[in-house]
Chain A
Amino acid sequence: MPKAKKPKVAVWKFASCDGCQLSLLDCEDELLAVADAVEIAYFLEASRAVVKGPYDISLVEGSITTPHDAERIQEVRRVSKFLITIGACATAGGIQALRNFKDVKEFISIVYARPEYISTLEKSTPIAEHVKVDFELRGCPVNKYQLLEVINAFLNRRKPNVPSYSVCLECKRRGTPCVMVARGTPCLGPVTQAGCGAICPAYHRGCYGCFGPKETPNTASLSAWWRKLGVQEQDLVRAFRGFNAYAEPFRKESEAYEQQ
């Protein structure tokens, strides 16, 4: 019997650190099996061979920060059946979205000797602000097992099993005592989406929100608790302005304290 045609997978990069697509190469035990199940048709970090689209699944890393990339993402959408964004840059604009709170012209002149050469947009924005996205996988970086789960789910036409509850549930499951209660360490866990495995509290530090806001987060209440622990307002602003600074609940919370 002839083998069924393998689904084609492409990996695209916009403004980012390469870490989320590296997660795929970090699947050391699964990589060859994945390469067997799908045709890795476009993945420049790993291969110089390029297979033409259209693609069944496009994984998109990075945020949109230049006029050219704003056009390129449209083309990626056109050649992709399913478009999945991976990581905080692609789903929330990433750490580079800190420019969104400032004047980008000032940023350019701080970093570059010849500002006139730099072509950049005023804001770093998530992919979903530009095109329809079929699934957003959070994390800075993404969890590689969640990445495999999402690919698997789309190949089998089912819903990915990626929970949207908070990091707190992962701490409970891991048996980690609450760092806020037990140690008085400020933690973003109660408002942050699970997925990392609650690593930070297990290493005795507070969560810093790299998986972005959970579904319906009560950021105002958490901020009030942080204030009771003695956290200054400007430090609250910095805490919400991390790798998911431009995700709406975190953005609004940081702006609320900036104005005060």
Chain B
Amino acid sequence: MSNNSKTIRVDYLARVEGEGALYIKIKGDTVTDVKLKIFEPPRFFEAFLRGRNFTEAPDITARICGICPIAYQMSSCHAMEDACGVTVDGQLRALRRLIYCGEWIESHVLHVAMLHAPDFLGYESAIHMAKDHPDIVQKALKLKKIGNEIVALLGGREIHPINVRVGGFYRVPTKSELRELVPNLQWARDAAYEFVRWTGTLEFPDFEQDYEFVALRHPDEYPFNEGRLVSNKGLDIAIREYEEHFVEEHVEHSNALHSVIKGRGNYFVGPLARYNLNFDKLPPSVQKAAQEAGLGPVCRNPFKSIVVRAVETLYACEEALRIISEYEMPEKPYVEVRPRAGVGCGCTEAPRGILYHRYRIDDQGIILDAKIVPPTSQNQKTIESDLWHFVPKNINLSKEQLTWKCEQAIRNYDPCISCATHFLKVEIEREWI
């Protein structure tokens, strides 16, 4: 046994969205410090939303994240409709699910094949991986493109779509426009199924913790836009009650705001949480594919999140095909929403987990204040907790190998630091250029 102390430092985490750093301090065989640092510059969205019109929130908040703009548009629309006492249903509601399917496909496939798989196969990036596994990378690119096609058709473009508004859409597609997506989506469904099988064959470290998983749950469907917030440890609340149960704590060791469940602590959001809390809502074909890939109805190993992302990609392809087959063009592309003074909340399932928005508006529709809690800030404390437990089990690896494994453990959460940062403490490190 050695008494050497060593420090694992990754000054710039790669293959995550946004900028973060990792510091782990080890004395002998004991981990003495773990810090996941976020040094993405703050952008002050909640501040400059004050004084803007309620109809501007979907376009403005989309700019928090270029990878999941739909999530921001959906949560803000639902929050504003909640404030104004409006419900969007029928085909407009279905189209919202459809555009979310597109975002899940493009975001999940980007992560599964291009950001996370290289860790499992020992490549620095998907571009390096493409030399030995061209079929996987090419198939992933095509699958991702089909997700983007859904977003681009319904939203106008892939990144920061322009067609989503409070109350619905500016323009809705015709039946034949949507039908044109079908052949590609059928190919995508088969390709996604192969990805489920393939991710199931990867090697996974034996690692799990007693997590509290939190996700939306809806009586009739796998969740995108609506439902109650539930957990495997007894949480079961309406979205409006979010702030009574979740708080941001200022944790001294990391100087970051960490979201916790009052009285219990850290929790886990994202694909694994959704899957564990909603397995029964997946169609039998998707459940079967998950089982063939070695997943039970509950999976507590965060390294297997790559399989669950593939399963959700398959679900999104099937759900998109279902919505398109049942589509009838609505008479009006949106429901009229008149502002009234009040508070509205929205929470939807971004690819990385629940995204909560709350706004207070006046009777003219001017935003008085805003609160946004992105998924990555909710997972941050759980990511650190994983590292506290993961490092001692792998202490015999070389420093280089251990560093890479720790990066992989962080990438299990597909962290989006661009999202998290607008309210996390920012710590500037001077060592990197």
Contact = CB atoms under 8 A, between A and B. Distances in A.
Interface in A104-161: 104, 106-108, 110-114, 117-120, 124, 140-141
Interface stretch (B134-142, B271-279, B383-391): B134-142
A17 B19 CA distance: 11
Interface in A216-256: 235, 238, 242-243
Contacts, number: 199
A16 B40 CA distance: 9
A102 interface: yes
Contacts of B106: 26
Given A28-B142, A117-B426, A200-B156, A47 B14 contact: yes
B124 A35 contact: no
Interface stretch (B158-166, B214-222, B301-309, B313-321): B158-166
B418 interface: yes
Interface in A180-207: 196, 199-200, 202-205
Nearest to A26: B158
A193 B426 CA distance: 35
A44 B158 contact: no
B25 interface: no
A37 interface: no
A113 to B, nearest CB: 6
Interface in B32-86: 40-48, 50, 52-53, 56, 59-60, 63-67, 69
Interface string B400-433: 0000100100000000101000110111101001
A28 B250 contact: no
Interface string B102-122: 000010001000110000000
A118 B66 contact: no
Given A141-B159, A210-B160, A28 B144 contact: yes
Contact of A243 (B45, B63, B157): B63
A68 interface: yes
Contact of B69 (A16, A19, A28, A98): A19
Contacts of A141: 66, 157, 159-160
B287 interface: no
A196 B152 CA distance: 12
A20 interface: yes
Interface string A31-49: 1100100001001111111
A13 B19 contact: yes
B110 A25 contact: yes
A131 to B, nearest CB: 14
B17 interface: yes
Identify the interface centre among B44, B48, B114, B416: most chain A CB within 10 Å of its CB: B44
A162 interface: no
A31 B158 CA distance: 16
B14 A20 contact: no
B171 interface: yes
A66 B41 contact: yes
Interface residues of A, number: 67
Interface residues of B, number: 75
Contacts of B63: 17, 19, 94-95, 140, 243
A113 B428 CA distance: 18
B12 interface: yes
Contact of A49 (B53, B67, B124, B250): B124
Given A32-B137, A96-B43, A203-B170, A110 B50 contact: yes
B124 A120 contact: no
A35 B127 contact: yes
Residue among A22, A69, A114 facing the most chain B CB atoms (10 A cut-off): A22
B148 A28 contact: yes
B238 to A, nearest CB: 26
Interface in A26-84: 26, 28-29, 31-32, 35, 40, 43-49, 65-66, 68-69, 72, 75-76
A18 B18 contact: yes
Nearest to A87: B66
B188 interface: no
A45 B15 contact: yes
A35 B127 CA distance: 7
A54 B165 CA distance: 45
A107 B369 CA distance: 12
A238 B127 contact: no
A28 B59 CA distance: 25
B145 interface: yes
A140 B48 contact: no
Given A17-B65, A28-B145, A203-B163, A114 B158 contact: no
A160 to B, nearest CB: 20
A118 B42 contact: yes
Q: Residue among A13, A19, A29, A107 with the most chain B CB within 10 A?
A: A19
Contact of B430 (A40, A68, A95): A68
Contacts of A22: 17, 66-67, 159
Interface of B: 12-19, 40-48, 50, 52-53, 56, 59-60, 63-67, 69, 106, 110, 114-115, 124-128, 130, 134, 137-138, 141-142, 144-145, 148, 156-160, 162-163, 165, 170-171, 248, 250, 255, 257, 333, 369, 404, 407, 416, 418, 422-423, 425-428, 430, 433
25 contacts: A17-B64, A18-B418, A19-B65, A19-B67, A22-B159, A28-B144, A35-B130, A44-B12, A44-B13, A45-B17, A46-B15, A47-B125, A66-B428, A95-B63, A99-B48, A107-B44, A110-B46, A110-B50, A114-B255, A117-B427, A118-B425, A118-B426, A119-B428, A200-B170, A204-B170
Given A35-B130, A118-B42, A203-B163, 16 more contacts: A13-B18, A28-B142, A40-B127, A48-B125, A48-B407, A65-B41, A72-B433, A108-B42, A110-B46, A110-B47, A110-B50, A124-B43, A141-B159, A199-B156, A203-B170, A210-B160
